Amino acid sequence: MNEIKVTLPDGSQRPLPAGSSIFDLAASIGAGLAKAAIAGKIDGNLVDLNTTLADGAKVEIITEKSPEALEIIRHSTSHLMAQAVKALFPQAKVTIGPAIETGFYYDFDVDHPFTPEDLEKIEAKMRELAKADLKIERSELSSAEAVELFKKMGEDYKVELIEDLGADQVSLYTQGDFADLCRGPHLPKTSFCKAFKLTSIAGAYWRGDEKRAMLQRVYGTAFADKKELEAYLERIEEAKKRDHRKLGKELDLFSFNDEVGAGLVIWHPKGAMLRTILEDFERKEHLKRGYDIVLGPQILKTELWQRSGHYENYRENMYFTTVDEQGYGVKPMNCLAHMMIYRSQLRSYRDLPLRYFELGTVHRHERAGVLHGLLRVRGFTQDDAHILCTPDQLDAEIKGVIQFVTEVMGIFGFEFEMELSTRPEKSIGSDDAWELATSALLNALKDSGRPYEINEGDGAFYGPKIDIKLRDALDRRWQCATIQCDFTLPERFDLTYVDADGEKKRPVMVHRVILGAIERFIGVLIEHFAGNFPTWLAPVQATVLTVTDNQIPYAQAAFDKLRAAGVRVQKDFRNEKLGFKIREAQLQKIPYMLVVGDKEVEGGLLAPRFRDGKNLDAMTPEQFIAFIENEVKTYK
């Protein structure tokens, strides 16, 4: 065959000489496209630019503007970084280097930890290698040949990876004198890595196992052009300013203490007030929607956790204790007690749906290496609820939760995305139960009209789930709300209701959280608002500031009025300059400063000033109370 025909995304066909590559196809369409092309798709599969085309193939050319481009650029840049590390530190052993949502990383086994100065050297070497315009070439070897090659190179980690793959053949990518095990695809040349930056260093255990070697993980990011990179780096700098751990300390919200234990939060007065405001909001919103508030114990007998499947499938994340020779598990979730409440009496179909809500404190054994401020802790409180309903009611209940999430996230100013996580490898329950549960969630997602993605194999061990990811002010994604559909635990705990026909039937259980872990959500809120909480949420809503000592009696009376009316107010009557007091209040991000000078005392007024420096019209204490009440009522 001297000629082949391929089909382009618009459905048109294009003839090419046999043996043509994707690059040849791009060049036949135009010089501009050939220059812009970085990879391709054949029959929906991503491949390198120099991949040979077969007759009848459906082909798409990937350029820097394609949705798939960024991952390819970042993955190739991680290889460029590994090449630079090997050039500078020949004794370093390479492990894995994937693209991730924010960029890429590569883990190295080195004798001494990398320093910030090393990062600068590595980045400089990367630029040198990029300028060298080295070809990035794919080759395929038998696993035996690849093992032999990497053994000669002293790359033990690559040998382990190949042996664990158990494949007959593996693919390698070579650029200059550097070769790496990889599926690809990659950019055609190192010069296509044009805009990158190494961002940080961290420790990471090989394969996440604390018993294996501690590696040096170098993080970086890469983009198609320098403008995008600069915009991202600006966002990173802004994120550092908003870091909830930094602001939590500055605003005196919470702390951690090694004497207490890793991953256990100590809430200070203002942080505890913030929690209380959120929890009160949660109770009000749940009661409005027909939920009943319940409370379960912190520890439950080990036999219950065995019956639920947690002991077998979740034990490594749990804490256990013994009381009077009886084993107990500290609860990592709240569902068991809620099922016991359901089982406490005979239920009729007329009683359903039942919606049990608990601000339940749970404990989970998170590895020390993944603990991260409020975002990953060992003790936390969930806004947890379990809905028990008939199969006919399931669709409406799932949609009701999606609507609940939509309304609440609107109040906090979050957009969100949804994905359906399906059955994991480690799971309980029948295939039929999983099929019913997955279909119920999928249908509700389709009917919601919102876009969603499928996340294969990442469901809970007892049921599939909808994960809801918030987008904050810096366009970062945060996993908070989740909706899980469960036919399995009602079966294991023999939950029943009497149907209209007098027969006992099995209810369905929906596990769901709206904010998720309160600790995590507060961490997200701190960073989203940069600590500038809206008035309704601010732990301190106003501070009364005197100009001189002469105003203290009136200022104290005004302070007492505000506090009695429920305004969260503090006072600063120190003998300091007013500008100094205002600056301190601004650093504490208090929404309103209420200045009291001789003029205000004479008129029985307060002079409010917003934290951004804007002055409001003077008003009486009573008028300010009404003003704050309106802001709280409208969630401003």
Cβ atoms within 10 Å of 228's Cβ, excluding its own: 15
382 in catalytic set? yes
Q: Name the E strands within 353-402.
A: 354-363, 379-389
Which single residue is written with the structure tokens 């809500």? Answer: 357
Sheet arrangement for strand 59-63:
45-47, 37-42, 59-63
Determine contact, residues 172/139, Cβ cutoff 8 Å. yes
Active-site residue, from 386, 423, 571, 581:
386
* Local structure of 222: helix, strand or coil: strand
d(CA 432, CA 88): 56
Task: State the burial class of residue 339 (Cβ atoms within 10 Å of its Cβ: 0-12, 13-18, 19+).
Answer: buried
Identify the H or E element spanning 287.
helix 269-288
d(CA 586, CA 75): 43
Determine contact, residues 3/18, Cβ cutoff 8 Å. yes
364 in catalytic set? yes
Active-site residue, from 364, 378, 423, 609:
364
363 in catalytic set? no
Paired sense of beta strands 465-471 and 477-486, if any: antiparallel
* Amino acid at the residue 318: M
DSSP3 helix / strand / coil % (the chain, rounded to 5) = 40, 30, 30
Cβ atoms within 10 Å of 417's Cβ, excluding its own: 14
Active-site residue, from 83, 175, 216, 382:
382
d(CA 242, CA 222): 23
Sign of CA dihedral 150, 154, 157, 163: positive
372 in catalytic set? no
Structure tokens at 451: 């876009």
Q: DSSP per residue over 515-547, as a string?
A: EEEHHHHHHHHHHHHTT---TTT-S--EEEEES
* Amino acid at the residue 156: D
Active-site residue, from 376, 465, 568, 571:
465
Active-site residue, from 376, 378, 511, 571:
511
384 in catalytic set? yes
Active-site residue, from 383, 384, 467, 572:
384
Compute CA 333 distance to the chain's CA centroid, rounded to the nearest angstrom: 19
Active-site residue, from 335, 389, 480, 485:
335
Q: Where in the sequence numbering do the catalytic residues fall? A: 335, 364, 382, 384, 386, 465, 511
